[in-house]
Amino acid sequence: QSALTQPPSASGSPGQSVTISCTGTSSDVGGYNYVSWYQQHPGKAPKLMIYEVSKRPSGVPDRFSGSKSGNTASLTVSGLQAEDEADYYCSSYAGSNNPYVFGTGTKVTVL
């Protein structure tokens, strides 16, 4: 099972928006509405930001939003803030025999 493809980096100025893509196949992203996004600051454990494509766990700001079209999912961070600078990973359910696959990760820089 190959990792989902993400751009290595993305950036934006404070207050701007940044969108990260996550490309998979019809066997994972395109086949199920179980796409998640995780934020990871250096030296810290990942934190769930989006689940089931577009749902936010309690406590996650509504500046974070998720969507999906075909085999590609996207995370948009609006109104960028300094604390949003982190690595972001997408993931997807990929079937009962290999139920989980992560993306390659994107480093978001707030300029």
Partner 1 sequence: QITLKESGPTLVKPTQTLTLTCTFSGFSLTTSGVGVGWIRQPPGKALEWLALIYWNDEKRFSPSLKSRLTITKDTSKNQVVLTMTNMDPVDTATYYCARYASGSYFYWGQGTLVTVSS
Enumerate binding residues for partner 1 (CB under 8 A): 1, 3, 32, 34, 36, 38, 40, 45-48, 51-52, 57, 89, 91, 93, 96-105
**Of 15 and 75, CB closest to partner 1:** 75
Question: Shortest Cβ distance from residue 103 to partner 1 (Å)?
Answer: 7
Contact present, 4 and 56 (Cβ < 8 Å): no
Separation CA 104–CA 8 (nearest Å): 8
49 φ/ψ sector (left φ>0, alpha ψ -120 to 50, else beta)? alpha
Strands 101-102 and 86-92: antiparallel
Question: Shortest Cβ distance from residue 55 to partner 1 (Å)?
Answer: 8
Question: Shortest Cβ distance from residue 48 to partner 1 (Å)?
Answer: 5
